[in-house]
Structure 1
Amino acid sequence: MRTRFTELFGVTHPVAQGGMQWVGRAPLVAAVANAGGLGFITALTQPTPEDLRAEIRRCRELTDAPFGVNLTILPAITPPPYAEYRQVIIDEGVPIVETAGANPVDHLEHFHASGIKVIHKCTSVRHGLKAEKLGVDALSIDGFECAGHPGEDDVPGLILLPAAADQITIPFIASGGFADGRGLVAALALGADGINMGTRFMATVESGIHDNVKARLVEAGERDTNLIFRQLRNTARVADNAVSREVVEKLQAGAGFEDIRDLVAGTRGAKVYETGDLDEGIWSAGMVQGLIRDVPTCHELITRIVADAEEIISSRLAGAVGFGVGVGVGVGVGIGATTS
């Protein structure tokens, strides 16, 4: 299954594992790469730029396939040393970077000068068009269903993806709400060149988070998330637990960020993944957890997604329109040529 995404980034399958704080580490990223997908180490999960260097080298010991690094740029009173993280990525010869958060303009020139391709994550068409104008190589378009920060427009993927396909000319992958072959086919049909999954990759064997978290993802339904920080215009989708419910209640009652700072501390969220105490802190989960029913290896997951997608295209869809093999071939050729 060839798309502009697989051709641009030199991977076998149009499936990506995007950056995830505390989750995007070498064993998971290498497993995705070895399965033919594109995985991203999360730069800021590493405490220092030198720790990132070590993690990149660790990943290279586990795979010969392409992988990338996610660099999320967020406003902060004391921001991380982004330029130092960026220089490590360049020095280590990482071929692909996923940027997210703020405008990546300050980093693009440096990455492109070193031959690094940049995927920028956006939650709206207008932001995607701006990033395209800045010169990013590809986009990840994040729908309202996603874990993490869905933006403030609340536009789900069923609308956002075709709206993006109508205006954006560079390759883009669909993010938010994807877990299986049905989602991959839908994303391609809506104009995307592949899919990006976060929550689904959390529930895999190689994901380094506690088994209690994986079990909760398998057990949870699509309604078991909460939107926090809505009143602060910094909306985030997280797992429904005692802490996220308390945060929602306090903000609805008029609390400010200082009143909830301790509840949402990143160190508490990291402990959830380490200890398996699901109410220790805030942790990310998308609505797609309602489609997660097992904890496979990354190879099993990606192989299944692609096989199911091919079966849907060649059999179910072809049969639905009544033209049999002819339509199956036509769809296959269409996807091979372009998906937008």
Structure 2
Amino acid sequence: MSNRITTLFKIEYPIIQAGMIWNSGWRLASASSNSGILGLIGAGSMYPEVLREHIQKCKKATQKPFGVNVPMLYPNIQEIMDIIVEEGVKIVFTSAGNPKTWTHWLQEKGITVVHVVSSVKFALKAQEAGVDAIVAEGFEAGGHNGRDETTTLTLIPMVKEHVRVPLIAAGGIATGKAMLATMILGADGVQIGSRFVASTESSAHQSFKDVVVSAKEGDTQLTLKELAPVRLIKNAFYNEVQALYKTTPTVEELKTLLGRGRSKKGMFEGDLEAGELEIGQVAGLIHDIKPVADIVSEIISEFESAKVNVSNL
């Protein structure tokens, strides 16, 4: 399978394993890359030296391309970028910030830069900043989302109308059929997050993985829009948030309830009641935990079968 995404990243299949906080360590990234897709280390949940360790271990575990996802709202951003350069990482996905800030700086050092957006407006800003590709992420996605609540089905063709650079679809994609659907709508490839949370190599706590595979339609909700919109599984923490909303809280009151380390507590440490359990709506289609290689094989097999079925319509 060859197109603009496989050529850009030198990978076999146009699939990117999302760099998710507390889920995407070196084991997941290297297993993904070894399976023919692009693996990403999620730097958002790592102190700089922890990130360096994960990059070094990933380099030992795979000879294939991998990258690092960097949410630009986190502290120590300069140190993180310096480590990426020092360790010879050649692909960086940026998010949650202005793409103009780091794109040229990284590209001058031979690094391919991709920026994650949630709207046509920000896609155009990313293209203007000179990024090599864009991830357009729909409202269905887990974790932090855009405020416009545009679904993947409508976002991808709208962004496609306005951008020339390679386009990667994200949000609600866990199957080969969904991959084909978004590519028919104009995407050159897909970024998949939630499905890889429920993988053997994910660094998520086993209890969180178990909750993901047992999730049903309607079990996730986008909330905390006053801070940074986040989709998570409904649990005791979510119920506390909803109870606080009934009092018309201030932003400071919401921040106090959220506190620090809430997502680590839920996804990495396995506190299913007090933790923040970030996952996409597509969790309702995820029913098992298996190795990354098996997940990729199933997605590609279904993608190829779906192409044949579509041609017969």
Q: Output the TM-score relative to the length of structure 1.
A: 0.89
Answer with 274-283 or 168-177: which moved more: 274-283
Deviation of 1:262 after TM superposition, in Å, equals: 4.5
Corresponding residue number in structure 2 for 1:72: 71
How far, CA to CA, are the matches of 1:263 and 1:239 in structure 2? 17
**Highest CA radius of gyration, 1 or 2?**
1
Aligned residue for 1:167, secondary structure, equals: coil
Corresponding residue number in structure 1 for 2:4: 4
Deviation of 1:272 after TM superposition, in Å, equals: 2.1
Corresponding residue number in structure 1 for 2:148: 153
**Aligned CA distance change for structure 1 residues 91 and 275 (closer, same or farther; 3 Å):** closer
Aligned residue for 1:296, secondary structure, equals: coil
Q: 1:287 aligns with which of 268, 274, 281?
A: 281
Contact 2:22 2:268 in 1 (8 A): no
How far, CA to CA, are the matches of 2:231 and 2:99 in structure 1? 23
Contact 2:23 2:268 in 1 (8 A): no
What 5-or-longer segments of structure 1 have no aligned partner?
321-340
How far, CA to CA, are the matches of 1:275 and 1:57 in structure 2? 24
Contact 2:208 2:277 in 1 (8 A): no
Deviation of 1:233 after TM superposition, in Å, equals: 6.0
Residue 99 (str. 1) matches residue 94 (str. 2): yes
Contact 1:144 1:176 in 2 (8 A): yes
Corresponding residue number in structure 2 for 1:329: none
Corresponding residue number in structure 1 for 2:52: 53
Q: 1:207 aligns with which of 202, 206, 219?
A: 202
Contact 1:229 1:251 in 2 (8 A): no
1:224-245 Cα offsets, whole Å, 9 max, x none, are 1122213x16321111111012
How far, CA to CA, are the matches of 2:39 and 2:250 in structure 1? 36
Contact 1:269 1:280 in 2 (8 A): no
- Letter aligned with residue 279 of structure 2: A
Q: 1:309 aligns with which of 293, 298, 303?
A: 303
Matches within 5 A, 1:161-172: 161-172=156-167
Question: Deviating runs (4+, > 4 A) in structure 1?
Answer: none
Residue 238 (str. 1) matches residue 232 (str. 2): yes
Contact 2:40 2:66 in 1 (8 A): yes
Q: 2:174 aligns with which of 173, 179, 186?
A: 179
Contact 2:196 2:202 in 1 (8 A): yes
Aligned pair count reads 313
- Letter aligned with residue 56 of structure 1: I
Q: Output the TM-score relative to the length of structure 2.
A: 0.96
What 5-or-longer segments of structure 2 have no aligned partner?
none
- Letter aligned with residue 13 of structure 2: H
Corresponding residue number in structure 2 for 1:193: 188
Matches within 5 A, 1:124-139: 124-139=119-134
